[in-house]
Amino acid sequence: MFKVLKIGGSTITDKAKADCVRDEEIERIAGEILDQTSGLVLVHGAGSFGHIPAKKYGLPGKFSPEGLRITHASVVELNRIVVEALTEAGVDALPVHPLSCVLLKDGRIEKMEVDFIKEMVAGGILPVLHGDVAMDSSRRAGIVSGDQLVSYLAKALDAQTVALGTDVDGVLCSGAPLKEVTRKTLPDIESCFTQGPGTDVTGGMRGKILELLELADAGTTSLIFNARKAGMVKKALSGDAIGTLIRRSD
């Protein structure tokens, strides 16, 4: 039984400042994950490590080999920090870089190797993926967001629990988190999306919901919750319905 957890770049970095990592958040979350690694696949967002260089080089709209290399190196560095914190907390974790196992077509994952991820999980190892740059068969190159990876992996692995931590209490409307979002209710909440303080080249909260609605269409409910609040990652992994549920319309 698989669980897919995403820790947003907004949780583990300050998205308004380049390369600004929140070590204390990563360490706390590593501790919350420790007892619940069975069947778990972890994805973390790119945060300021990815969104800021990507924007600087005009990705994903512009093809820039230098932009791809620099953005990839930056997200790999964040991934190294996350894997190291997990290791120090006592979790057996291994890095998985999407650039080396994903092919996009028109910005969407066309092919992704997942058998080795299953083998890691079967061996008691936590695979740690991240938002990354990737090659694209129709646009030469693009960006694969952590959110798209979650949606794809949850489908490919038929995950039972799918949770995405960010830095807000869920999908907010008039300051309060919504209980749920479906394709049917999306038009009613369009006015709730604001431009946050951080850089995000993959559509921010709205982009996240669109990815999760694709997963909901396939019958899998996911949740968006606040991973900056202590104890919430543990609750999300236990299957508690915290934050906002993204589910299929009745």
Ligand X SMILES: Nc1ncnc2c1ncn2[C@@H]1O[C@H](COP(=O)(O)OP(=O)(O)OP(=O)(O)O)[C@@H](O)[C@H]1O
- Residue 242 lies near ligand X (rule: CB under 6 A): no
Distance CA 205, CA 128 (A): 22
- Residue 208 lies near ligand X (rule: CB under 6 A): yes
Between residue 186 and residue 205, which ones bind Mg ion under the rule CB under 5 A? 200
Q: Check: CB of residue 15 under 8 Å from CB of residue 9.
A: yes
- The listed partner (Mg ion, ligand X, none) that binds 34, CB under 5 to 8 Å by sort, is none
- Residue 128 lies near ligand X (rule: CB under 6 A): no
Residues binding Mg ion: number (CB under 5 A): 1
Q: Parallel, antiparallel, or unpaired for β 140-144 and 132-136? A: antiparallel
Q: Check: CB of residue 89 under 8 Å from CB of residue 7.
A: no
Min separation Cβ 99 and ligand X, Å: 17
- The listed partner (Mg ion, ligand X, none) that binds 156, CB under 5 to 8 Å by sort, is none
Cβ atoms within 10 A of the Cβ of 156, count? Answer: 17
> Which residues are within 8 A (CB) of 133 and not within 5 positions of it... i.e. 6 or more apart?
54, 59, 60, 67, 68, 71, 72, 75, 99, 141, 142, 143, 144
- Residue 213 lies near ligand X (rule: CB under 6 A): no
Residues binding ligand X: number (CB under 6 A): 26
Between residue 165 and residue 184, which ones bind ligand X under the rule CB under 6 A? 166-168, 171-172
Min separation Cβ 246 and ligand X, Å: 12
Listed residue (4, 16, 24) closest to 164, CA to CA: 4
Task: Return the residue matching tokens 């934050």.
Answer: 243
Binding pattern to ligand X, positions 132-161, x when CB under 6 A? Answer: --------------x---------------
Using CB under 6 A, which of 31, 47, 60, 98 touches ligand X? Answer: 47
Dump the DSSP string for 136-190.
ETTTEEEEE-HHHHHHHHHHHHT-SEEEEEESSSSSEETTEE-SEE-TTTGGGGG
Min separation Cβ 26 and ligand X, Å: 13
Which residue ranges make up the site for ligand X (CB under 6 A)? 8-11, 15, 45-47, 51, 131, 146, 166-168, 171-172, 192-194, 196, 198, 200, 202, 204-205, 208
Where along the sequence are the contacts to Mg ion (CB under 5 A)? Answer: 200
